Amino acid sequence: MVSLTESRLGYVFGLLGGGLVLLGGLVSLLVGFVDLVVGHPFGAISSASLAVVLFVVGALAMFFAWIGQHDWRERPFASGVLLVVLAVVGWAFLGLGANVVALVGALFVFLGGVLFLVEPAKRMAIAVTAA
């Protein structure tokens, strides 16, 4: 059995969260399309602009989760901080709105970022206690 490290679990959570945020963006885009068909142009513009933000946040979350596992493997702190910031940006735009899929995705992105930060925190704690 393969042991799951914090970094690998953070990678999985980051990808899963980014995918859910992208799915939330797709839902928002579909709601905007329905608003446009029904005759609510301002609701359609609002949903479409939220969809664009969610697409960008989801794609960046998946990118930073991937790069944290592959290219920045020796720098998990940078990936963790970027994922946490992206989750906070996602929450700021979503609030406690009706797009539950994107909110859950932002939560997974946040957890992925925290898991990337576990190893640097361990190293820092060991360095502080050794000094």
Residue 49 belongs to a domain: no
Q: For residue 112, what pLDDT band results from cuts at 50, 70 and 90?
A: very high
Question: Which residue in 120, 112, 107 sits closest to 65, CA to CA?
Answer: 112
- Domain of residue 85 covers 6-21+55-130
In the predicted structure, residue 3 carries a pLDDT above the cut 60: no
77 in a structural domain: yes
Residue 124: how many other CB atoms lie within 10 Å:
11
What the block records as the tokens of 37 is 């068909």
Q: pTM of this prediction?
A: 0.86
Query: Does the residue 112 lie in any domain?
Result: yes
Give the total number of structural domains in the chain: 1
Residue whose token pair is 């989801």: 58
Express each pLDDT in 72-93 by its tens digit. Answer: 777 788 888 999 998 988 888 7
Residue 99 three-state SS: coil
Token pair of 89 as six digits: 């940006």
| Residue 64 belongs to some domain of the structure | yes
28 vs 48: CA distance, rounded Å? 7
| Domain contains 100 | yes
- The 10s digit of each residue's pLDDT in 59-71 is 999 999 999 888 7
Within-domain flag for 32: no
Q: Summarize pLDDT for 12-57 with one digit per residue, the tens.
A: 999 999 999 999 999 999 999 999 999 999 989 998 998 998 999 9
Q: What was the pLDDT predicted at 77?
A: 86
Nearest to 117 by CA among 92, 91, 85: 85
